[in-house]
Amino acid sequence: MQKLLITVDKISTFVGKTFSWLIVLLTLLITYEVFSRYALDAPHDWAFDGMIQMYGMLFMMAGAYTLSKNGHVRGDVLYGFFPPRLQAGLDLTLYFLFFMPGVVALCWAGYIYAGDSWRILEHSGITADGPPVYHFKTVIPVAGAFLLMQGIVEIIRCIRCLKEGKWPSREEDVEEVDVDKLKEMMHVKDEDIAKLDEFVTAKKGTDK
């Protein structure tokens, strides 16, 4: 089971990191358009639509990745003080009450929304000759499907935590420095740090 959970985490991570390259493309597009508009006096009608679509795809496709890293915004003022089982029970309740209905609705409505767009080969109405948007709207149900898959994994994690009393491990990624973990890896104890502080303080007093 743990292998399956980690596999889904890896899929969400791969998708999120792949679409994160849109940040680079978006930066290049904005730079090019600003230069073209103000230096060459040759703005492009499609540029604004392109920027919106790139940012929208990045935002939507990063949802499952963020959930896999437990990175979505939550009220941690009290939550962080709860024991794991209470955290899992609270998360599980919220997943069933709000997350699952919302994401299922997103997938279904997004599927219909994208289908209607493909049916008429919809183009953007922001400009007179706007670019197509049906491929962009297809991202909505796709992103919802990835988010739903990751959400099921998180529900399984909650159930396992309720049974075992601790959270299952996640796929490792770039994270903020965990001081306690770093000290454990370097085999450094708090007493060693205290002795080092005393030595430095004594050394400063001797130098004076």
Q: What is the pTM of this model?
A: 0.75
| Helices (H), ranges, 80-133 | 84-94, 100-119
- Domain shared by 38 and 81, yes or no: yes
**Residues 16 and 26 both lie in one domain:** yes
Q: Are residues 207 and 164 in the same domain?
A: no
Residues 183 and 152 in one domain: no
Per-residue pLDDT at 36 exceeds 80: yes
Half-sphere exposure of 127 (CA within 13 A, CB side): 13
130 with 45, same domain: the answer is yes
Q: Do 143 and 42 share a structural domain?
A: yes
What domain count does the chain have?
Answer: 2
Residue with tokens 């049916």: 119
Query: Largest Cα–Cα distance in the chain?
Result: 82
**Quick one: 33 and 100 in the same domain?**
yes
Nearest-angstrom CA–CA distance, 36 and 134: 27
Domain range for 170: 2-174
- Looking at residue 5, its pLDDT comes to 86
- Tens of pLDDT along 120-158? 999 888 777 788 899 999 999 999 999 999 999 999 999
Return the bridge partners of 132, or none.
123
- Is the pLDDT at 176 greater than 90? The verdict is no
- Whether 68 and 12 have beta carbons less than 8 Å apart is answered as yes
Is 133 in the same domain as 208? no
Choose the weakest-confidence range: 55-64, 75-84, 132-141.
Answer: 75-84
Cα–Cα distance measured from residue 157 to residue 168, given in angstroms and rounded to the nearest whole number: 6
Query: How much of the chain exceeds pLDDT 70, in percent?
Result: 82
| Dist CA 52 CA 136 (whole Å) | 10
pLDDT at position 179 over 60: no
